Amino acid sequence: MPLYAIPFPDINPVLISVGPLAIRWYALAYIAGILIGWWYLRRVVVADRLWGSLPRPTPLELDDFVVWATLGIILGGRLGYVIFYNPAHYLADPYDIPQLWNGGMSFHGGLVGSIVAMWWFTRGRAFSLMTLFDLFSAAAPIGLLFGRLANFIKPELWGRPTDVAWAMVFPGAGPLPRHPSQLYEAGLEGIVLFAVLAVMIWNRDALKRPGTIAGTFGIGYGLARIFVEFFREPDAQLGYLLGFVTMGQILSLPLVIAGAGLLIWSARRRTAIA
């Protein structure tokens, strides 16, 4: 191991094991992201000053939606990974598809699954689909933070070889020190993006302009993911597409465009709902 590389911390991926039952950090990270995001959104929907006269979900409706969102995230995330990142493997061995404990989730697939869940959930309700988009976007960085930490602990989705002072040698990635790109994504997609959206929600009345939070999230996540992909090792089964770009970058570009479109749409509707 090179002298300048930081050894990967010896973290057992299994927190508790009782016979055949194993509780893994990977699963706990997703559970924590969903539960903390749920708690945060309950605080947001009961704060009357953030909404003006705009209809929004009640805390009880939000409780119901968490179940729908969880199914959308898990099913969409897994199917997205199967379709976008490793279709040949899962076509050859479809019994591996439900084995979530082995890793393999796609944010973009989870987003699509969540959008379907939101569309279905809002039918016949007083609040709009766009309001639910904004709420989901406000909490999504919390889930992203915990998800990327899970990627780091597993470890998976490590970075490209480098000689930076904080490079790490990851188990299973060979002897070369690499960027801890999972932590880059946790910082940008999780902490920084959450802080930006929180300021907009609590100090800038952004929820009174439907589409503003969702649009900002799309741009923020898309740009952060495109940037970090320059430091992240491409999936081995895909490599570089078009000679120099990754699947993550290709899938993130439409998010940036859609986010910009939402911001323009929101700005043209009206300034705010008093």
Q: Which of 1, 28, 2 is nearest to 13 (CA)?
A: 28
Q: Is 148 annotated as a binding residue?
A: yes
For every residue of 86-145, DSSP letters joined together read: -HHHHHH-GGGTT-GGG----HHHHHHHHHHHHHHHHTT-SS-HHHHHHHHHHHHHHHHH
* pLDDT score, position 14: 76
Q: Where are the beta strands (DSSP E) in the chain?
A: 6-7, 14-18, 21-24, 168-169
Q: Which tens digit of pLDDT belongs to each residue from 110-132?
A: 999 999 999 999 999 999 999 99
* pLDDT score, position 271: 54
Where do the domains of the chain lie? 20-269
Residues (pLDDT < 70) of the chain are 1-4, 19-20, 101, 103, 270-274
* pLDDT score, position 2: 52
Q: Which of 111, 128, 108, 142 is nearest to 38 (CA)?
A: 142
Spatial separation of the C-alpha atoms in residues 266 and 274, rounded to whole Å:
15
Q: Which tens digit of pLDDT belongs to each residue from 3-45?
A: 567 888 877 777 777 766 777 777 888 889 999 999 999 999 9
* pLDDT score, position 13: 73
pTM for the predicted model, two decimal places: 0.88
